[in-house]
Chains A and B, each alone.
Chain A
Amino acid sequence: MESLSNRKKVVSNKKMTFMEKMYFPAIWSGMMITLKHVFKKHNTVKYPEVKREFAPVYRGQHVLKRDEEGRENCTACGLCAVACPAEAITMTSEERKKGEEHLYREEKYASTYEINMLRCIFCGLCEEACPKEAIFLTDRIVPTYFERNDFIYGKDKLVEPVDQRVDISKRQLTGKRPA
């Protein structure tokens, strides 16, 4: 049958010629290849000073978004926790009190919201499940810690600060939901 990839080769056991047995031409061409690489551009990125740009769809540390007025989008519906295959997300919900309208967009909000970064597999299903466009994965890297407990990220690390919005436009064209 004709192969589709066209990559198969018929094995040949032909005897090597004298020149091939000398190996010097082959060694010489090999050395020329390595010499060529000396003058090629290095692929190294000097990491701490220069950081390699991530792909736009990179899935890194999560962010809990706020809307334009600075109110948290999350309503603690729990769909992300249900969707999470690694069971990394937990939360408790609470009702919004009077006078907290500027903090939470809807009547219910997450009083605690925790993601265990050791469990998380960064699949992005939470983001897909979220009906309120509240949780997104970003191009930030989750750093390492010495203690296991440090990997459990609460709202203090997940919710974006009002004055320091996290840009997710590269990853998601919609950052806003219809009013």
Chain B
Amino acid sequence: MIIKLIIVVVLFAVTLGIAAYLTLMERKVAAWMQDRIGPDRAGPFGLLQPLADGGKMFFKEDFRPTNADKWLFIIGPGIAMFTSLITGAVIPWGPDLKLFGETISLQVADVNIGILFIMGAVSIGVYGIMIGGWASNNKFALFGAIRASSQMISYELAMGVSVITIVLMTGSLSIREIVDQQHGFWQDGWFSWNVFKQPICFVVFLITALAECNRAPFDLPECESELIGGYHTEYGAMKLGFFLFAEYVNMFISCAVISALFFGGYNFPGMDYFSGNTLAILGTLVFFAKTFFFIFVFMWIRWTLPRFRYDQLMHIGWKKMIPIALINLLITGVVIAYTEGWFSKDKSNESASNAKIEQPLGVNTSPEKTKTGNSL
């Protein structure tokens, strides 16, 4: 119990700390890509910049527009922050750690519907933006909020379908189970990471994750040039800070989910040479390295691509992403059914067909995989 509490607190602190330093990283990456140096005045290499920014946010006047709905105006950023933080609870940050004769799972809660929980929490995250935008009683804020909600609903579908594809392959909704099935790097004649088995699914998930995080090129809810900040136009001080912070926490979590679902989480090539606590620590480090790589990719994309027009956004979401994800799901389903031997008349033929099948999508046909698949 106490251990869980410690993990919760550590996770909370680490997530917030990382989110704070992501703001610095964003500015640095932006600067480098534009041949600049970036913030370097506060501390060595500008490392104290997030503290300075946070301090500024705290000490600014907590302003509320006259006609804003008082409670909803306060609740909005709270919901945004809350939902983005709770998603971190189900992500397995590393293999089990053994300390003082006890096995410590580096995960707050191994919920057996982990990925579903994340999808649900992300959907609630829209409420924060929507309530905040509506309560500020400003047309630009409302525009931003409406854009955010419709964008998130549109892209959640494609994201959900691509997650279903992974779930179909794995046979489990628990993220730890999904990660454990991508053990090592090479298994049964193919890469064990899901990205090599489901590249299309990965691309769809990456694009929809960008849209879910309201990141460029999908940053229409808060486009500075059109909506002067969108849903947080009227916000200031730490309430604005919460919105911005929630966004970076979201980005961190979705990058963690991407690396867990598609890039093997804490698995790395040659992990079988290690065991026990060494493996746990190395695995956690690897997981964070992967996560940070994807955060860099997110930033890289942001500072490369221009923003989409709104009709283009909807076009991509509904007419491209969802059909591609659905077709991918269908093909995966057919292939899995074939490997399971659903199409062979003779049930005794099953094991033989398993051995023979070429793997067009690289579906894993190892015995334990078949077992979990059967339990679906």
Contact = CB atoms under 8 A, between A and B. Distances in A.
Interface in B289-309: 300-301, 303-305
B303 A34 contact: yes
A41 B304 contact: no
A43 interface: yes
Given A37-B32, A38-B32, A44 B304 contact: no
A98 interface: no
A34 B33 contact: yes
A40 B34 CA distance: 9
Nearest to A31: B304
Contacts of B40: 46
B305 A42 contact: no
B34 A37 contact: yes
B304 A30 contact: yes
B35 interface: yes
Residue among A34, A43, A46 with the most chain B CB within 10 A?
A: A34
A35 B300 contact: yes
Nearest to B302: A34
A27 B34 CA distance: 17
Interface in A36-87: 37-38, 40-44, 46
- Chief secondary structure at chain A's binding surface: helix
Nearest to A38: B32
B36 interface: yes
Contacts of A27: 304-305
Contacts of B303: 34
Contacts of A44: 35-37
Contact of B33 (A37, A41, A43): A37
B301 A31 contact: yes
B23 to A, nearest CB: 19
A12 to B, nearest CB: 21
Contacts of A33: 304
B35 A40 contact: yes
B304 A43 contact: no
Given A27-B305, A30-B304, A31-B304, A38 B33 contact: yes
Given A27-B305, A30-B305, A43 B36 contact: yes
Contacts of B301: 31
A93 B300 CA distance: 65
A7 B29 CA distance: 34
B242 to A, nearest CB: 30
A40 B31 CA distance: 11
A138 B31 CA distance: 33
A46 B305 contact: no
Contact of B36 (A30, A31, A35, A42): A42
Contacts of A35: 33, 300
B32 to A, nearest CB: 4
Interface string B18-33: 0000000000010111
Nearest to A26: B305
A86 B40 CA distance: 41
A48 to B, nearest CB: 10
Interface of B: 29, 31-37, 40, 300-301, 303-305
Given A27-B305, A37-B32, 5 more contacts: A31-B300, A34-B33, A38-B32, A44-B35, A46-B40
Interface of A: 27, 30-31, 33-35, 37-38, 40-44, 46
